[in-house]
Amino acid sequence: MPELEDSTTKTKAEFDPNILQDLLPLYYKRLFPHKQFYRWMSYGRSESSVFSNREFSFTLQNDVYIRFQSFETQQELEREICSKVPVKIDIGAVYNIRPKDHRGSVSMQPVQRELVFDIDMTDYDDIRTCCNEANVCQLCWKFMSIACRVLDEALREDFGFEHLLWVFSGRRGIHCWVSDKSARHLDTAARSAIAQYLNVLISGGEGTTSRVIIHDEMHHSVKRAYRIVAPLFEEICLVDQNIFGTPEGVKKLLAQVQDQTMRAELEKRFKAGPSDSKNVWQEFVAYFEELRTSGNINRYRRYKFIVEEVTLAFTYPRLDINVTKGFNHLLKSPFCVHPKTGKVCIPFNPNIASKFDPTDVPTITDLLKEVNAFDEKNTVEGEENRSKIKDYKKTSMFKGTVIFEEFLRKLEQTFKGKAAALSDMKMEF
């Protein structure tokens, strides 16, 4: 293993992207969970050609992009990964033919694919004040934590899905892979319908914040989302981000109200008091409460749920619905290394997403140092003992791998015995 600078301080050193290509061969050989990855992609061989007809794409050094790769066995895929050392691995759909045989075929069609969701922190740039663009911290991660909880509950309770893998994207977002058989076999129309169902935000146009419109009654899914986000709205939006603490922020709040007269009245109230977010929000809530008790039913009717609408507009998950709609959309594989940050795309537990710290995710440099440190510490016990411990268990990547293993264990229980049955069906006499 190459020399890696020692680091005894808690502060993580800045990752140098220039050394990634030197470290990736070691990472793929010693740390990438090839066996578990194959277990996921093969689904226990419970369906014919589910692994061999899967598309994988590799991005190599200097942006060389190789699509329509497919493999027959775990060993073949592992050998190719270790040989080509991709900077990124993307996972595509399972097709009706082997993707590597697509040339000259006019009938290649996707037949199954996990239902996937992609949430990117840059889509929150109009409301977060702590960071912007590719940067992320523990404060704005709270938006991701909320998104994870809202989506996880909706997918489980409204659609009955059980096998959801949540993965940190390595830089500024999260991915969700719904791997239930019923989800994998959804057609494009069904994927689009689910995406639209979960996307309650209405774009307000460039320079404005998205809106939520609730009509006569709150849909049970929206009601559940509100129950999740409401207790956190003050902490995240008013304190951490202080969204309404600037004239620009106040404009975004006023834009939620379509009535020009009401906007003017609200603006007047805001100017009369302190300009911090908490006060602005209190005045906003008080204004509509006074309107409710005034007896002016016609004027109030449209704004019956305005507090809930605004709360959701600033906290509800901002989905890239095109990723979810697309049957053959490629998405970055778990356990890839992000080429800019060096961080590993590790799975995390959605139930404790709020405790996940994106700034503390190990880089490939950290992981290889941890392996070196473990081996040096245990050298006295002899090579034989050291070799029995898998390298990923020597690192801070272990927790993410355990989460992946638990996801696989539950998934594999659903198709126990089906591989043997499929093998019997194929048997020729």
Q: In what order do the strands lie in the sheet with 115-120?
A: 115-120, 173-178, 164-168
Distance CA 222, CA 212 (A): 10
Residue 94 half-sphere exposure toward CB, CA atoms < 13 A: 22
Across-strand partners of 59?
65, 88
Task: Count Cβ atoms below 10 Å from residue 75 Cβ, excluding itself.
Answer: 11
DSSP annotation of 185 reads T
Distance CA 316, CA 209 (A): 12
Distance CA 416, CA 43 (A): 10
Distance CA 347, CA 221 (A): 26
Distance CA 348, CA 148 (A): 10
Q: Say which residues have a Cβ less than 8 Å from residue 425's Cβ, sequence separation at least 6.
A: none
Residue 179 half-sphere exposure toward CB, CA atoms < 13 A: 24
Q: Which of 353, 414, 410 is nearest to 151 (CA)?
A: 353
60 exposure class (CB count in 10 Å sphere: 0-12, 13-18, 19+): middle
Strands 64-69 and 173-178: unpaired
Enzyme catalytic residues: 55, 118, 120
The structure tokens 């791998």 sit at 401
Give the three-class secondary structure for 196: helix
DSSP annotation of 202 reads B
* Helix or strand (DSSP H, E) at 164: strand 164-168
Distance CA 153, CA 225 (A): 9
Give the three-class secondary structure for 332: strand
On whether the CB atoms of residues 134 and 186 are closer than 8 A, the answer is no
